[in-house]
């Protein structure tokens, strides 16, 4: 045997130890791979059928994540629209009060002018609330708003958010 070469073929104990060490290293690599990825089956080599099932589930999870994002956006649009409508609703009592005060025939011309200015200011405030009820470019309370279709399930089902032209209604009121 040339110098510098070792042979373990003659040492049965060393051969068994080497086989055990290789087996342990292989299992250690597999365990480290599972720990680093978080997956029990990291590839088709580990278990082809389980890997195939796991890949299908991962795809569905991604689809549900996309649906969740769409629903979150719809929730944002509806929350902002609700806040705008609530703000308008809160002002309606003040507007009604001004209308009743303006209906009083006993008020002077100067008082009528002040009440009319107050009324116009309240209507402008309502218009501002309605115009500002926008979430990522969508305003369901403004004129010309388009219907928003939001995906609601991985099968492609959608929820339709229909706008209501409160600005147009306000223009006919004032």
Q: Is residue 24 part of a domain?
A: no
Residue 154 falls inside a structural domain: yes
Residue 44 lies in a domain: no
Q: Which residues contact 29 (CB under 8 A, 6 or more apart)?
A: none
The answer to the question of residue 74 being in a domain is yes
Residue 34 counted as domain residue: no
pTM for the model stands at 0.59
Q: In CATH, what number is assigned to the domain containing residue 132?
A: 1.20.1330.10
DSSP sequence for 140-166 = TTSTTPPPEEEE-STT--EEEE----H
Tell me, yes or no, whether 99 lies in a domain: yes
Q: Give the residue-averaged pLDDT of 160-167.
A: 78
Mean pLDDT of 109-129: 92
Single out the residue of 173, 159, 52 nearest to residue 124, CA to CA: 173
Give the ranges where the chain is alpha helix by DSSP (H). Answer: 12-37, 48-102, 109-132, 166-173
Lowest mean pLDDT among 8-17, 94-103, 133-142, 150-159: 8-17
**Tens-place pLDDT, residues 30-76:** 777 666 665 666 555 556 777 777 778 888 888 888 888 888 888 98
- Domain residue limits at 98: 49-171
Measured between alpha carbons, how far is 65 from 131 in angstroms, rounded to an integer?
A: 31
Q: Answer yes or no: is 17 within a domain.
A: no
- On the CB side of 131, CA atoms within 13 Å amount to 8
Neighbour-count burial for 70-101, b at 16+ CB within 10 Å, e otherwise? beebbeebbebbeebbebbeeeeeebeebeee
Domain membership flag for residue 69 = yes
| Domains held by the chain: number | 1
Please report, for residues 130, 144, 157, the alpha-carbon distance to residue 164 in angstroms, rounded to integers and kept in the order given: 11, 9, 23
């Amino acid at each position: 045997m040339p110098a510098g070469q070792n042979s373990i073929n003659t040492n049965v104990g060393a051969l068994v130890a080497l086989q055990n060490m290789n087996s342990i290293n292989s299992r250690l690599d597999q365990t480290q791979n599972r720990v680093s990825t978080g997956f029990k089956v990291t590839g088709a080599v580990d278990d082809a059928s389980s890997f195939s099932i796991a890949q299908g589930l991962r795809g569905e999870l991604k689809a549900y994540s996309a649906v969740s994002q769409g629903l979150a956006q719809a929730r944002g649009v509806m929350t902002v629209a609700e806040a705008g409508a609530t703000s308008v609703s809160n002002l309606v009592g003040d507007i009604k009060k001004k209308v009743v005060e303006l209906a009083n025939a006993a008020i002077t011309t100067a008082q009528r002018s002040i009440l009319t200015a107050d009324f116009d200011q309240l209507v402008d405030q309502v218009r501002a609330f309605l115009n500002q009820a926008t979430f990522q470019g969508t305003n369901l309370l403004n004129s010309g708003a388009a219907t928003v279709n939001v995906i609601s399930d991985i099968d492609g089902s959608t929820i339709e958010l229909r706008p209501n032209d409160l600005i147009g209604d306000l223009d006919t009121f004032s």
